[in-house]
Amino acid sequence: MQNIALFDGYVAAILARLFESFPVKLGLDAREISGDMAVDDFGNVVGADGRPSRRFAIALATVEWLGEAGYI
């Protein structure tokens, strides 16, 4: 899946979670958003294949971008 498609899906998931919890503040976890929860021996989030998770990196960047852009 291309980065923009993942970004679009993560934005929708993040905004839906925030909408459901409004007006109560909600912490966002990029691992939960990406679906990759495993961590290797060095603390890096990894995918099912044991390699660094690209989906996690995009989810984290999405949360950061939404915050920096003033959306969240």
* 46/44 Cα distance (integer angstroms): 6
Please report, for residues 9, 18, 21, 33, 66, the alpha-carbon distance to residue 25 in angstroms, rounded to integers and kept in the order given.
21, 8, 7, 17, 15
| Residue 21 phi, psi (nearest 5) | -95, -10
- Whole-number pLDDT of residue 69: 97
What's the predicted TM-score (pTM) here? 0.89
Please report, for residues 1, 23, 55, 70, the alpha-carbon distance to residue 4 in angstroms, rounded to integers and kept in the order given.
8, 29, 11, 19
Tens-place pLDDT, residues 13-69: 999 999 999 999 999 999 999 999 999 999 999 999 999 999 999 999 999 999 999
- Whole-number pLDDT of residue 1: 74
Q: 25 is written with which tokens?
A: 């503040």
